[in-house]
Structure 1
Amino acid sequence: MGAAASGALLAAGMPPRSIWYLLPVGTALLTWALLHTPWRERAVQGAVAGLAFFALTLSWLTGFHPAGFAAVLVIEVVLFAAAMLLVDPRPARWWTVPAALVVLEALRARFPFGGFPIPGMALGQLDGPFTAAAPLGGALLVLGLAAAAGAAVTGVAAGGRRPRALFVVGALVAGSTAGLLLAQPDSAAVGRLRVALVQGGGPRGIPAVASDADAVTERQFQQSDDLPAGLDLVLWPESSIAVSGPVARTREAERVAGLAVRTGATVVAGLSESYGTGFRNAAVAWDPAGRIVDRYEKVHRVPFGEYIPGRSLFERLTDMTSLVPRDAIPGGGPGLLATPAGPLGVVISYEVFFADRTRAAVTAGAQVLLVPTNAASYTTEEVPATEVAAARMRALETDRAVLQAAPTGYTAIVEPDGQIVAEGGLSSPEVLIATIPLRIGLTPYASTGDAPVLASAAVLLLAAPLLRLLRSRGAADRRRHRSGI
């Protein structure tokens, strides 16, 4: 029961609820459930907790494809169970639980299919105290500190070696405080942008393959008709335009060029270009003179959403390929648009869940981050709310404003401190206008990525077995010495 309750509590703390203190409470219960358990039981407890967590947080996948939900659920539960095998079940080793969760999240960001980090456990922490650590160690450090707060309570309450446990807690607090002081962003504002984010509105719960692309485009133009003067940047969502072949010579491109000329602003629009059996998911920038000046093509594609891994096999086993009739052609590069509005970082939709994509853009010179996205396929608010949470985390990690535009919501403007200054609703047409800062400089996390936090987690997990090994060898040496050998 404890493991199931812990997984349910972890899930209840995730967006759209975002109850930050449920993660420490859930981790405390998980730590309790693992105490004094052999490895087989730890695997079972991990599977139970993982099933409770992922069944609740990934339930939105059932509306997309039940078989896909089942496959993802099995993989995620197995990974959770495997991570719990890393835990030392003694109360005095409570810190191995948060370390194992950090390793689990790092693995989920990379496996399977290049990573499926939805939902990231740290995304429920955005209104809590631990997000102050994001500029230092990213979402992994935020997760580690929040989980450690709960696990420490269980470790001390369970009768672990209190002096040692309190020493570890004190060391974590002191180290975190020092780290947070060092993590204060040293970036600087180099200007400001007057921006407009256009959300055309429209029905939700319609798979992309069944949507009326022309209607989506028309709604975007309708909402852009009355944009005010004095704008520097206009952002349209992912899939605002769908064309066959290169966009440059199409009627749609001419109309966007006219919008750029009329507003005197750089216009960035998310679009889809069809090429035979594939398509390109791109963000294209027009300058105020109406010329296409740069483009970025999505690198991190959605498995079973934008491409089918092992398509030939799935075509024989399921009708899943009817929802994804063509595979997206992967792009390349760091996601940087050189425009008159400044160097703009871009991550498209799903890529906002991958911190390495925003880090690549910022280290390449991005002064603001754009997230053209499209969550219109989903009927509930879980996916749009989770995307906004991810955008907020990326803002904190990089000290950059983040502009997220979605055709049916949530469209949001996020300041570098992770606070939302404007947010649209679901389905409704919206135009969000604000002035946001352009910033330069790198946070510690933008410079180093996940490596320091992962190394620290590895040390915590390996410390206990290494100490046991050293002690056993020392005892064997002393016995041999006493025997005169």
Structure 2
Amino acid sequence: MHSPTGPDTARSRPALSTPVALLLAAGAGGLWALSAQPRGWWPLLPLGVAALTVALHGRRLRPRLLIGAIAGAVLYGSTLAWLTGFAVAGYVGIGLLEALMLATAVGLVPTARTGRWSGGWWSGGWWALPAGLVVLDAIQTRFPFGGFPLPALVHSQLDGPFVLAAPLGGSLLVTAAAATAGVGLAALVLTRGRRRWVAVGVSVAVAGLPIALGATVTTDPAGTLDAAVVQGGGPRGLRAVFTDPQDTTDRQFAVAEQVTGSPDLVLFPETVISVDGEIAGSAGDARAAALARRLGTTAVVGVVERQGSGFRNAAVAWGPDGAILGRYEKEHRVPFGEYIPGRELLERVTDLTTLVPRDAIPGEGVALINTPAGPLGVVISYEVLFADRVREAVTAGGQIVLAPTNAASYVTEDVPAIEVAGARMRAREFGRTVLQSAPTGYSVVVGPDGTVLAQSGLGDPALLRETVALRTGLTPYARTGDVPVLILAVLILLAPLTRRRTNGATGE
């Protein structure tokens, strides 16, 4: 058995005092908050990981949980402030839940050790922190209420080098690469001598390899598309129940009337036309059909169909002859925005249900519409934040991804900026152009490499007209999804426990 005061231990720094560690945890949360959208200051994510790594060094489970909770409280307390415009109780509840999830992810990082492995690869377990953050990202896209990735750490990385890993392993691999770079920075502080340079070298290799490999991934060109993206403009910060849906319809079509020539595609926002019953045969059908015929184009329009006590949220395509070609109905609904979880209970204790009087009916079917403009992958609004929805569209044959949305209820730019970040990440992951149309912004055209080709302002009418790339072929991430990176992260978290059992069995 090796003494904890032996030469190996001398090569690692002692744990910081508790007050200093807690200040570092708060600083890490603050750095991550500053890196979040709409700022997107990507270097602050690895810097925050470095600060949190140093704070965690040498600490057991309870202090790690406290450190994670403080970082989470600062991060989510600031980045979820936009929720107070809807429900203060919701802001507090979701903020506490997200902070608890971050604390749990930090708690998964193995307990500090002394002895043979002190100061080495698994010193204090801090090399497992990137894996813990990967698990956190994966859980946030699935829980609560089917996922709430607002904000996700990875949204800070759109303009940094780590996003190059996206087509290889998706947003989870981007998070892992950025966090590993942060651990490498922490190694400069936490280790000494030869171990320091070994740790830094390994972190550079582990973070750099996905970047190098991801940068070589391409999809295949399949021509171009003349696309017009419509944004009607109008007031922001108003819930749908307090607005006249006809006003929204009129504003969007007023901008669409400015389209000239014969584009291949005209994309309208989400929830442009509202009807009782089905869209076919309605006045909204006639209006969209007339536009499509006049321009000789495929027009995709967001439609709300009120049916009984619920409604359907669909993207409907009209062809150049004015006939309805197909539709996609939104599957991943927004909790407390499009449906109320536990509605019967909440109706007794809150007036929140009056803001969402009807629950959206979940859609079914594949996220693809075949049109004369080509096979169009479609996700609606919130769904652009979930890679599995876009993956379905792309693997079904989508050569471009449409993301009609409606973020007009939000006063600040936080949520619109997060949606743009989601669109850019999906473009990177799948090598597809993404067109996002919003009634009051942000509308955006994103190239297959995640580059913003055109973007509207907030609130103003806008018409974005771009010739964009169509693509075929699947990236490695489109073929595998999150499973490989998630399995690797879990194995990394379990590895120190396996090593302990082995050492215990050999009497070390």
- The answer for the alignment partner of 2:115 in structure 1 is none
Conserved? CA contact 2:271–2:303, under 8 Å: yes
* Alpha-carbon distance between aligned partners in 2 of 1:180 and 1:399, rounded to the nearest angstrom: 11
Contact 1:194 1:231 in 2 (8 A): yes
* Residue 308 (1) aligns with residue 335 (2): no
Q: Which residue of 2 aligns with 1:65?
A: 87
Aligned residue for 1:179? Answer: 213
1:138 aligns with 2:170: yes
Decide whether aligned partners of structure 1 residues 188 and 43 sit closer, same or farther in structure 2, where only a CA change above 3 A counts.
same
> Please, which of 8, 19, 41 is the counterpart of residue 30 of structure 2?
8
Map residues 40-439 of structure 1 onto 2, 5 A cutoff.
Answer: 40-88=62-110, 90=112, 92=123, 93-159=125-191, 161-162=195-196, 164-166=198-200, 168-169=202-203, 171-173=205-207, 175-176=209-210, 179-180=213-214, 184-185=217-218, 187-439=219-471
Distance 1:448 1:286 in 2: 33
What's the TM-score, normalizing by structure 2?
Answer: 0.91
TM-score by length of 1: 0.95
User: Residue type matched to 1:40 in 2?
Assistant: R
Work out whether residues 6 and 27 of structure 1, in 8 Å CA contact, stay in contact via their aligned partners in 2.
yes
Displacement of 1:31: 0.8
Q: Which amino acid aligns with 2:166?
A: A
Q: 35-44 or 193-202, which moves further after superposition?
A: 35-44
Q: Is the 8 A contact 1:269 1:285 kept in 2?
A: yes
The number of equivalent residue pairs is 474
In structure 2, runs of 5+ residues without a counterpart are: 1-22, 113-118
In structure 1, the residue matched to 2:44 is 22
Q: Is this contact kept in 1: 2:177–2:207, CA < 8 A?
A: no
After TM superposition, give the deviation of residue 162 of structure 1 in Å: 2.9
Distance 1:25 1:83 in 2: 18
CA distance in 2, matches of 1:353, 1:176: 22
The residue type equivalent to 2:203 in the other structure is V
Rounded Cα–Cα distance in structure 2 between residues aligned with 1:422 and 1:460:
41
Deviation of 1:171 after TM superposition, in Å, equals 4.2
Offset of 1:132 from its aligned partner?
0.5
State the Cα distance separating 1:167 from its structure 2 match. 5.4
In 2: Cα distance, 1:429 partner to 1:318 partner: 36
CA drift at 1:173: 4.7
Using the TM superposition, give the Cα deviation of residue 315 of structure 1 relative to its aligned residue in structure 2, in angstroms. 0.7
What amino acid is aligned across from residue 278 of structure 1 in structure 2? G
1:475 partner SS: coil
Q: How far apart in 2 are the matches of 1:176 and 1:415?
A: 21
Segments of structure 1 that go 5 or more residues without pairing to the other structure are 477-485
Shift of 1:169: 2.1
Aligned residue type for 1:12: L
Give, in angstroms, the shift of residue 170 of structure 1. 5.0
User: How far, CA to CA, are the matches of 1:391 and 1:261 in structure 2?
Assistant: 30
Q: Which amino acid aligns with 1:162?
A: R
Q: Show the counterpart of 2:19.
A: none
Shift of 1:75: 1.3
- Paired amino acid for 1:213: P
The structure 2 residue matched to 1:455, chosen from 482, 487, 490, is 487
Structure 2: distance between partners of 1:214 and 1:223: 15
Residue 481 (structure 1) aligns with: none
State the shift of 1:288 in Å.
0.3
C-alpha distance in 2 between matches for 1:327 and 1:27: 40
Structure 2 distance, partners of 1:65, 1:304, is 10
1:483 paired residue number: none
- Give the CA deviation at 1:429: 0.4
Q: 1:113-168 CA deviation, whole Å, 9 max, x = no partner?
A: 11111111111111101010000011111111111111122134212643652453
The verdict on how the C-alpha distance between 1:371 and 1:100 changes in structure 2, with shifts beyond 3 A counting, is same
Deviation of 1:174 after TM superposition, in Å, equals: 6.1
Letter in 2 for 1:268: V
SS of structure 1 residue aligned to 2:62: helix
CA positional deviation for 1:88: 2.8
Question: Cα offset for 1:269?
Answer: 0.3
8 Å contact kept, 1:94–1:155: no
Tell me which amino acid in the other structure corresponds to 2:206.
Answer: L
CA contact (8 A) 1:334 1:357 kept: no
* Alignment partners' CA distance in 2, 1:167 and 1:29: 19
1:39 matched to which residue of 2? 61
Rate the CA distance shift 1:174–1:203 in 2: closer, same or farther, 3 A. closer
In 1, Cα distance between equivalents of 2:264 and 2:458: 26
- CA 1:7–1:173 in structure 2 vs 1: closer, same or farther (change >3 Å)? closer
Q: Which amino acid aligns with 1:203?
A: P
- Shift of the alpha carbon at 1:191? 1.5
Aligned residue identity for 2:146: G
CA distance in 2, matches of 1:25, 1:8: 11
